[in-house]
Amino acid sequence: MRKKLIAANWKMYKTPSEAVSFAESFLPLVKDHRRDEIVLCPPFPALTAVAGALRGSHVKLGAQDMHWEKEGAFTGEVSAHMLAAAGCTHVIIGHSERRQFFGETDETVHLKLLATLHASLTPIVCVGEFLAQRQAGETEAVLHQQISGAFHGVPHDLASHITIAYEPVWAIGTGNTATPEIACACHRCIRMDIAKIFGASAASRTRILYGGSVKPENAKALLSQEEIDGALVGGASLDPKSFSAIVHY
């Protein structure tokens, strides 16, 4: 059985004090929850503050992005080792908004993935198609390209440390959600590609999350599916009660 992972991606919301306030309200709501792994991914300025607020709890800390180099003259960037030193255990890589607005490519996702694994962080690698690609019947081809681009050359013994998030771009922040059937079909497609790269055993252990307008109202229908191993939650994770309702689906 793959233990589900439910991650909150706060994007560019919450100051350090607001983030700590969230954690203080959220932790009592999930203090006895051990069924799933829970990760909060605040903006960079709030990482250290949230790390302190989570200390002693079972809720883990993640970042929303990183650079692939360990250090260097890269103004505005942070490395995987810096994130680990700040208390992070997870990091989101290749989110569609990074691809769409900030020039992220399959090659940079690949470089970030390798750096993350070498820093002993758990990467949450995002893949997904735009609406026009889905309407053109290109979903499987897009997923295959993104997965093969990200995972080529990754050592097989590190494959089990990778988490994938399928996030159909047409469902992110739109209120539209992929049906459980659509999500499961895409998750199966992703798992087949992982099996081709790393083997069937690694594919069976790889967690594939769903991301795309996950909210309390649809969490149970999505997360009860055998192929869906958790959720990457955006807007609905900004409120402690809303996010805890998703955790307790």
Tokens of 114: 């390798």
Distance CA 130, CA 4 (A): 26
Torsion over CA: 192, 193, 199, 201 (sign) = negative
The pTM of this model reads: 0.95
Cα angle 62-67-69, degrees, rounded to a multiple of 5: 125
Distance CA 89, CA 84 (A): 6
Per-residue model confidence as pLDDT tens digits over 147-156:
999 999 999 8
Positions marked active-site: 95, 167
Residue 159's pLDDT band (cuts 50, 70, 90): confident
Per-residue model confidence as pLDDT tens digits over 88-106:
999 999 999 999 999 999 9
Closest by CA position to 233, among listed 2, 1, 10: 10
For 39-247, the fitting CATH number among 1.20.1730.10, 1.10.150.120, 3.20.20.70, 3.40.50.300 is: 3.20.20.70
Closest by CA position to 94, among listed 124, 120, 133: 124
Per-residue model confidence as pLDDT tens digits over 203-246:
999 999 999 889 999 999 999 999 999 999 999 999 999 999 99
Tokens 């030193």 identify what position?
Answer: 85
Asked if 211 and 126 count as a contact pair (C-beta separation under 8 A), the reply is: yes
Closest by CA position to 90, among listed 64, 115, 126: 64
Strands (E), 29-97: 37-41, 60-63, 90-93
Instruction: Name every residue whose Cβ is closer than 8 Å to that of residue 199 and which is 6 or more positions away in sequence.
Output: 156
3-state secondary structure of 231: strand
pLDDT of residue 86: 97
Residue 58 has pLDDT above 80, yes or no: yes
Q: Name the residue with higher pLDDT: 108 or 179.
A: 108
- CA 237 to the chain's CA centroid: 13
Domain range list for the chain = 39-247
181-197 CB burial, b ≥16 within 10 A, e <16: ebbbebbebbbebbeeb
Tokens 């590609």 identify what position?
Answer: 193
Please give the helix or strand (H or E) that residue 204 lies within, else none: helix 200-205
pLDDT of residue 169: 85
Tokens of 117: 């694994």
Distance CA 79, CA 226 (A): 34
